[in-house]
A and B are shown apart, each in its own frame.
Chain A
Amino acid sequence: DAGVIQSPRHEVTEMGQEVTLRCKPISGHNSLFWYRQTMMRGLELLIYFNNNVPIDDSGMPEDRFSAKMPNASFSTLKIQPSEPRDSAVYFCASSLTRGHDGYTFGSGTRLTVV
């Protein structure tokens, strides 16, 4: 199993540009989570999906952020327009069931907005 796959690993973009982060969860996992990590705020949950349906997006910082999960094997997190304060490492995680299973995290996307 290749684990949770995120792309790109690194992204550098100019302020105002659109950024799209991608995630492929582990096959068969039915929950998917997007987290953001910064030195100041630590790991923050942005949004999570269950069976491709967004369940809780209360952590999404503002309307510039949007996330989709068109099918069970793919999710995107989009920032439009991007701002320097969006610079962070964005992690995607998936899990098999609601309940006791631990999450499996991807390696993250390091986003730098200049």
Chain B
Amino acid sequence: EVQLVESGGGLVKPGGSLRLSCAASGFIFSSYSVNWVRQAPGKGLEWVSSVRSSISSGTYIYYAESVKGRFIMSRDNAKNSVYLQMNSLRAEDTGVYYCARDHNSLLDYWGQGTLVTVSS
């Protein structure tokens, strides 16, 4: 069974940092891209970042403009995990953060999400 489990959310002050983790199981992790998607309270889905890997072309990481320069996504295939290091956090970064498996450009499995609250 495919599973994605996020962790690391919490309350942080503006300007602070937080590191989210997403642990995957039930599939060959290294063969798939993974995305972070967030959802502000009462709002829609917003793509945040993705890590794409292939044996032929290597690993590429992409970011939404709203987080570029502040967030860093990484993956550890040995641990079947991806991470999102979030720095210089702002109130508008508040929301539930989901990791989602990317299968040929569709997000077919999602985790349960982890809540990040940026507030003084």
A binds B: no
